[in-house]
Amino acid sequence: MSEPLIELRNITFTYPGAPQPVFQDFNFQFLPGNHIGLTGPNGCGKTTLLHLIMGLLRPQTGSIIIFGKEVKKEKDFVEVRQKVGLLFQNADDQLFCPTVLEDVAFGPLNLGKPPTEAIGIAKETMARLGLTGFEDRVTYKLSGGEKKLVSLATVLAMEPQLLLLDEPTAGLDDNTKDRLIHILKHLDIAYMIVSHEHDFLNHTVGQCCHVHGHCCQPITT
């Protein structure tokens, strides 16, 4: 069996001031090449799980192992974030540059690419997602669906080895959802999708898991 991309061991996490922990002795493994969907009621910890993996939240106890290395400090997570992409629930949180091209190039520039190369990567990524011609569009004047696709482009431009998507279909019309399904099907990286839409998950993932306080339980269909 190959080594898991992500492993969470005995994680306990409680939000400050919350009476109940979200996770207690939580264990989770994510294997390479997997496409899984995370489901569960609101507040069960789906988004929290993604934020723990990215190091935006830190568990009180337990260990997180990503790409075979235990990650603890901010410095470790900086490396993780270069390899793992997270698509936020709300695109307005993700897009902050004035123009689309600058936003998509932001990640590659942070990775130390020279501007010309970063622009090249940005344009190529946008072309892949059918966003050619959006370069000089102003990010806050895009429609909801366009914002979502541009957000995805900003994450994919970093060429992640693993993609985490937090409710990517929220508020999208059927047409944009179909585009998203098409894009995901043609990605050759592992990904994990948090979603409430079973139809969307049926098209995009091989396995769905129900997030509980202790583990993610595979749903057998």
Q: Residues in the site for another protein, rule: CB under 8 A?
A: 51, 54, 56, 78, 81-82, 85-86, 88, 90, 92-94, 96-99, 101-102, 105-107, 109-111, 115, 118-119, 138-141, 154-155, 158
Measured from the CB atom, the residue of 147 and 179 that comes closer to another protein is: 147
Q: How far is the CB of 214 from another protein (least distance, A)?
A: 26
Measured from the CB atom, the residue of 102 and 197 that comes closer to another protein is: 102
In whole angstroms, give the CA distance from residue 179 to residue 201. Answer: 14
Measured from the CB atom, the residue of 71 and 208 that comes closer to another protein is: 71
Residue 46's region, left for phi above 0, alpha for psi from -120 to 50, else beta, is alpha
**Phi and psi angles of residue 101, each rounded to the nearest 5 degrees, phi first:** -60, -45
| Dihedral sign computed on CA atoms, order 197, 160, 134, 124 | negative
Q: How far is the CB of 136 from another protein (least distance, A)?
A: 10
Measured from the CB atom, the residue of 25 and 159 that comes closer to another protein is: 159
Closest to 90 (Cα-Cα) out of 131, 35, 151: 151
Q: How far is the CB of 158 from another protein (least distance, A)?
A: 6
- DSSP-derived letter for residue 138 is B
Measured from the CB atom, the residue of 25 and 117 that comes closer to another protein is: 117
Q: How far is the CB of 13 from another protein (least distance, A)?
A: 16
In whole angstroms, give the CA distance from residue 159 to residue 154. Answer: 10
Q: Give the N- to C-terminal CA distance of the chain in Å, as an integer.
A: 24
Measured from the CB atom, the residue of 80 and 201 that comes closer to another protein is: 80
Burial class for 132, CB neighbours closer than 10 Å (0-12, 13-18, 19+): exposed
**Structure tokens belonging to residue 218:** 């595979």
Q: How far is the CB of 108 from another protein (least distance, A)?
A: 9
**Structure tokens belonging to residue 134:** 């959006």
Q: How far is the CB of 157 from another protein (least distance, A)?
A: 9
- DSSP-derived letter for residue 95 is -
